[in-house]
Structure 1
Amino acid sequence: MVSLDFEQRVWQNGVAYVAGCDEAGRGPLLGSVVAAAVIMPEGLLIDGVNDSKKLTPKKREKLHSIIMERALAVGIGEVDNRLIDMINIRQASRLAMKIAIHELKDRDGKPVIPEYLLVDGETVDLETPQEKIIHGDALCHSIAAASIVAKVYRDRKCLEWEERFPGYGIAKHKGYSTREHVEALLKFGPTPLHRASFLKKIMARATVEQQELFKNEYFAEKLV
């Protein structure tokens, strides 16, 4: 159950700026991984905030608006598919979190430096004191808020990607490995947004004719 227990332990030691951090888009075949960092006012618990995966899109959007209105600071970090292929998805997720923390700004756009980090299942390469919380998005209010901000941001990016690359169903599946997505890949080949390092299993079961669709300069090098 989401609570303020983790934040309270830090606040009671006189630390005001406690940032929750989480990512969205670790598993998809396509697009960037996005992280958010959120600093909430001391003692504020927004009713309904939870792991973004447990919320409907409508509920996420509503809570996102409240979080953006009430938060002391919010930051977004994004790492694209090419860098994911270079450094792997775990390191890309950690980098996105680091960027989000550096990008923390208040509603006037002024930078805010967190004094303590609560991170969902990871550590971030920063000297800032921090705590890794397994399943933090389902337990810790600040992390859950960050999960909502990251998910809404990435879902909105998916709508932009759908316009750029119609026919793949990106707005619907958000880049995940659904039947519709895999069938589109085997019919049209990968877009410049696809993560080559995630497509090897699909390539392995593709026909010779289908494999030809993947033989552009970038994917031919990455899929060997």
Structure 2
Amino acid sequence: MTQDAKVEEELSAKNLVIAGVDEVGRGSLVGPVVACAFIFHNLKTSIKVCDSKSISKIKRIRLFYEILQTNSLFSLGLASHKEIDQINILNATKLAMKRAVEGLRSKPDILLIDGSNKIKSDINQKCTIKGDSICKSIGAASIVAKVSRDSLMDKLSSLFPLYEFNTNKGYGTKKHKKLISKYGITPIHRKSFRLT
């Protein structure tokens, strides 16, 4: 067990309320960045959570529903493509995380944040590189954020069917970039990103 994973268990043993915080969509060319703040009701859950990007879509969706059945709290926060273009992706990511934390019905004692960037908050914070792979609460946040954003991209795909957002989720695949070259950009593409 890594030191950071031990920290999560030690905090839980002190009866501190822990919120894991993670985001998805930073590298996408389209749409919002989505963050999740997640509080397990019981950290001793048998659910094995991990980095949402490291598992198959089927397993991710199964874990998503298992996580939702743990009687836990979570909140999603978004920063739109327009906000990303206005304040840059890093600041927009921190804004989405802040919104997710502020949306929680219960204020946590500490935030465990995936990565190395703290957010503006009066709540104690600990940043953990690759936290979604080693901390249960961050892993759960990662999965909930990913499944939620993917669902949003599926809906956006019906509005912009030429761009196949249901398969590329807005990321800069070769095919997506070819479609941009062929059809131009949509109103939800991030203009501050290199799109072709």
Normalising by the residue count of structure 1, what TM-score does the alignment of the two structures yield?
A: 0.82
In structure 2, the residue matched to 1:134 is: 129
Aligned to 1:197, the other structure's residue is in SS state coil
Query: Distance in 1 between the 2:56 and 2:71 partners?
Result: 21
Letter of the structure 2 residue corresponding to residue 61 of structure 1 = I
In structure 2, the residue matched to 1:114 is: 108
In structure 1, the residue matched to 2:25 is: 25
Aligned to 1:48, the other structure's residue is in SS state coil
After TM superposition, give the deviation of residue 103 of structure 1 in Å. Answer: 1.0
Greater RCO, CA 8 A, separation 6+? 2
In structure 2, the residue matched to 1:88 is: 88
Structure with higher Rg: it is 1
Letter of the structure 2 residue corresponding to residue 12 of structure 1 = A
In structure 2, the residue matched to 1:219 is: none
Aligned to 1:21, the other structure's residue is in SS state strand
Query: Distance in 1 between the 2:30 and 2:144 partners?
Result: 19
In structure 2, the residue matched to 1:37 is: 37
Letter of the structure 1 residue corresponding to residue 22 of structure 2 = D
Q: Does 1:160 align with 2:161?
A: no
Query: Distance in 1 between the 2:37 and 2:46 partners?
Result: 16
Query: Distance in 2 between the 1:95 and 1:72 partners?
Result: 23
Letter of the structure 1 residue corresponding to residue 183 of structure 2 = F
Gaps of 5+ in 1: 105-110, 203-224
Letter of the structure 2 residue corresponding to residue 118 of structure 1 = L
**Contact in 2 for aligned 1:24/1:35 (Cα 8 Å):** yes
Aligned to 2:98, the other structure's residue is in SS state helix
Normalising by the residue count of structure 2, what TM-score does the alignment of the two structures yield?
A: 0.94
Gaps of 5+ in 2: none
Aligned to 2:22, the other structure's residue is in SS state strand
After TM superposition, give the deviation of residue 119 of structure 1 in Å. Answer: 0.2
Query: Distance in 2 between the 1:189 and 1:46 partners?
Result: 47
